[in-house]
Amino acid sequence: MSWETLIAEKKMTGKHSDNGFILVTPVLDFTQIRPAEKAILGIREAIASIQEPNLPEVKVWITGEVGLEDDELAGMSAGTFTASLFSIVLVVAILLVAYQSVLLTVATFITLAMGMIFCGAFAAFSVKELNLISVAFAVSNMGLGVEYAIHFCLRYRDNLTLHVDKERAIRSTLVSTAPSLLLCAGTTAIGLYAFIPTDYKGVSELGLLAGTSLFICLIVTLALLPVLLKLLPAMSQAEAKSHHPFLQTLSEKLAALTLHYAKPITLGTALLAAVSIILVMQVKTDFNPINLRDPNTESVIAFKNLLKDPDTSPMTLTVLAENEQKAKDLQQKIEQLPSVDKTISLFDFIPSHQEDKLAIIEEMALLLGSQAQGFPPLRYDVDPTAAIKRVINTIDKVLPTKTDAHEISSLTHFKKELQDVLTELDTRLQPNRRLFIENIQTALLGTLPNAINELLDSLNAQEITLTGLPSELRERWLSKEGIYRIQIFPKHNLDDLTDLQTFITEVQSVAPETTDLPVMYWESMKEVIAAFQQAIIIALITIALLLYAIRRNVTDTLLVMAPLILAGLFTMASAVITGTPINFANIIALPLLLGLGVDNGIHMVEKLHHSMSEEQNIYQSSTARAMFYGALTTASSFLGLAFSPHQGIASMGLIITMGIFWIMTSTFIILPALSKLVLKHAD
């Protein structure tokens, strides 16, 4: 029982009255994946050492930046590992279906692994370290790198049916695929390089790494994959000609259906695009890093509990003042703002009306006299049976006089507890009986002497001044240079973006140099969104101009761009429908979707120029099959992430999966229908 709580709060159940804070600066070991692991284990051991087996548990929560990051690393390691295993198994299965060859699957994985190694080396050389945004270049490499290898392997497989000699098949594959893959890589890379001029460092570095990595992956594919195919045993012509009958039939029906119903598909697309434009206006953003983490970890639960209490919320603003008078004036102005609940500065630790309060304390000390000298230590009653029975008798006498239902219930419950104690005493023998008595008395009265002695010490109180405050307290609110810190608490929940913006705007109208977590979140969100908007616009314009310069045809350029724009529109609309806000994690899926959309558009438009008859199967070529299986493997790589406990990773997996679905829908269904209506072709 906390006697301090009873004395100070006058109640036994205060939500946070018995909570305390210990600020810990851990020693971080950056040679480990989890730098704070040893420090946190040390804290856990200290927690375990203070737990008395016969007393209620002391609950200690570890949170803060280090605790949050350690839980995130631990959760990501476990959750991502499981998701990665699932994805690898799924990708292997898809490649085996696509290639119908174990050796080609092995060659693809070796090529992808080497590409990732060289891309990682380039990242280490060029930007030295990765951040939350720039690390996404690995996502782009994985998705587009495997697509290049699939294009090469499927074309090689088809060429084996034409050339008995394996080397001639490899040479023919290299000559036929290199130009188109180079065009795709170049177009996508230029679009990604458009990210470089943006002001946000993470987005700029993402453009440099993702764009350059495309060329690295392509060079590795064109240089290493032919060597691997030459070293590996060749497929027989019979194996190369074999195709899955179900997929063959499905592709034929889909090809005829898409071209035959071109007008209805186009009208349906226009209607869907109009609905999507309306939905896109409702896209939500959430750039609070806490919401990206696993909500079931201890650090996140503790952090969110702190947010619920306005007195402990970390989402506060901080303002600095040059001197005492400016600090007092600024604090007074800020407290008048509608969005501000209260402010705290060093002056708030100085009690008001000290003369009157000291007079009352002095009078109390005189009244107590010698009793104020000290409270005796706890003495154990070896046999409290008689005392307990007297209390029970007293309860029996006063109960009939009570009318309050809550009071009657409390006394009745208390009486039952005392009777249970008597029963327990009767059944126990020494020395267990003595230990039981000591434990009860310690639990009930063990903290009373210290609490009373602290109260008695306060009777010797003296006037408190700024210079008399503890140094560790002063240092948190007043710098050595004489700069005062003012902490500002919000009146509303800052999870709401409107309240967050209002809180920051109002305080900055009085103190423009206001900073702290809310400002960091808000400014980061604005900069990231602005950077990506700028980069995407520049990328789309640059890609369109490059395509026009290469193809010299406005129609072809628009057809290539159509799947990209439609897929982006449909993906954002799907995010609204699924309730997935745009955040730091899933916004980095845009470069991958941009690359896939451009590549698929180029390949499909080129194919449609030669296969616009309903009798022809536009999906049976190695190019179309490579697009399909490439997208399928990429989606499978990230599908497992959608089930990760880490909310950011899960949202990224979901956005990428939805985006690839819409890219494939736009490329394989909508683009052929549009092409049927706008392309001039000979029957």
pLDDT tens digits for range 539-548: 788 888 888 8
Strand ranges in 394-500 using DSSP code E only, listed in sequence order: 484-490
Choice between 176 and 200, residue whose per-residue pLDDT is larger: 176
d(CA 578, CA 283): 11
User: How many C-beta neighbours within 10 Å does residue 214 have?
Assistant: 30
Average pLDDT of the chain, as a whole number: 82
- Does residue 349 have a pLDDT over 80? yes
With vertex at residue 148, the alpha carbon angle to CA 663 and CA 633, rounded to the nearest 5 degrees, is: 55
DSSP state letters, 556-591: HHHHHHHHHHHHHHHHHHHHHHTT--B-TTGGGGHH
Sheet holding 484-490, edge to edge: 317-321, 484-490, 340-344
Assigned token pair, 156: 């090689």
C-alpha dist (Å) from residue 656 to 358, 615, 649, 663: 67, 34, 11, 10
**All residues at 6 or more sequence positions from 485 whose CB lies less than 8 Å from its CB, including other chains:** 318, 319, 320, 345, 346, 476, 477, 478, 479
With vertex at residue 636, the alpha carbon angle to CA 632 and CA 639, rounded to the nearest 5 degrees, is: 130
Average pLDDT over every residue of 633-649 = 74
Choice between 105 and 80, residue whose per-residue pLDDT is larger: 105
Quick check: bond before 431 cis, omega within 30?
yes
Query: Taking the mean position of all CA atoms in its chain, how far away is CA 306?
Result: 19
Instruction: Characterize 292-331 residue by residue with b for buried, 16 or more Cβ atoms within 10 angstroms of its Cβ, and e for exposed.
Output: bbbeebebbebbeebbeeeeebebbbbbbbeeeeebeebb
Domain ranges of the chain: 1-60, 68-290+521-678
Q: Are 225 and 107 in contact (CB under 8 A)?
A: yes
- Does residue 366 have a pLDDT over 90? no
Choice between 596 and 152, residue whose per-residue pLDDT is larger: 152
Pick the closest to residue 506 from 300, 338, 286 (CA basis). Answer: 338
Indicate the range of 16-20, 263-267, 391-395, 648-652 predicted with least confidence.
16-20
C-alpha dist (Å) from residue 643 to 140, 582, 590, 648, 663: 20, 17, 20, 11, 22
- pLDDT of 14 reads 44
Average pLDDT over every residue of 213-238 = 83
Instruction: Characterize 595-606 residue by residue with b for buried, 16 or more Cβ atoms within 10 angstroms of its Cβ, and e for exposed.
Output: bbbbbbbbbbbb
Average pLDDT over every residue of 614-624 = 65
pTM confidence score? 0.71
Pick the closest to residue 229 from 110, 141, 145, 113 (CA basis). Answer: 110
Average pLDDT over every residue of 491-501 = 83
- pLDDT of 238 reads 55
pLDDT digits (tens, 9 = 90+) for 405-418: 888 999 999 999 99
Homologous superfamily of the 68-290+521-678 domain (CATH) = Multidrug efflux transporter AcrB transmembrane domain (1.20.1640.10)
- Does residue 80 have a pLDDT over 70? no
- pLDDT of 10 reads 47
- pLDDT of 550 reads 77
Name the band, by pLDDT with cuts 50, 70 and 90, for residue 214. Answer: confident
Choice between 14 and 322, residue whose per-residue pLDDT is larger: 322
